[in-house]
Amino acid sequence: MNLSHLAVAAIMCVALAACSRKDSLFSLAPNYSAQTVQTVSDVEGCIAGRWQSSVRHFSEVRANGAVRIEAQSLFRGIAIGVRLRPHANDTLVEYFQRRVADPIYRSMVRECTRTMASAEA
């Protein structure tokens, strides 16, 4: 391996690091959103129960009545998440994915919400 090969490899590494996203998963536009009459804790319990056995690095954060669930898809390791927020007498449910993840995770979120009106992005 000569000096030019090392230079190309170094440039590729720097370009890859510069292009990788460092912003929060929840700063992206939601892939799915819905409003439901269920409580935040009911929806959170349903999603957590389904995701815990089918994802990696499962975590939940609660603050000010809202819940954020974040994980990685089991096989491809894609970052996915759900934000649940109280909204009037309802719960706003938003599903996020860093890249296109397996559709089963979005389906699980949809099954856990009895939607009044949904807006798909």
Domain with 104 in it: 23-120
- What is the count of structural domains for the chain? 1
Q: CA 104, 49, 51 angle in degrees (round to 5)?
A: 35
Contact by Cβ (8 Å): 26, 98: no
CATH of the domain at 81: 3.30.310.10
| Residue 79: inside a domain | yes
**For residue 74, how far is the Cα from the chain centroid?**
13
pLDDT in tens, the chain (121 residues): 687 777 777 777 666 655 555 678 888 899 999 999 999 999 999 999 999 989 999 999 999 999 999 999 988 889 999 999 999 889 999 999 998 888 999 999 999 987 544 444 4
Is the residue at 113 inside a domain?
yes
Q: Is residue 17 part of a domain?
A: no
In a domain, 115, yes or no: yes
- Dihedral of CA atoms 16, 27, 35, 63 in degrees, nearest 10, equals 120
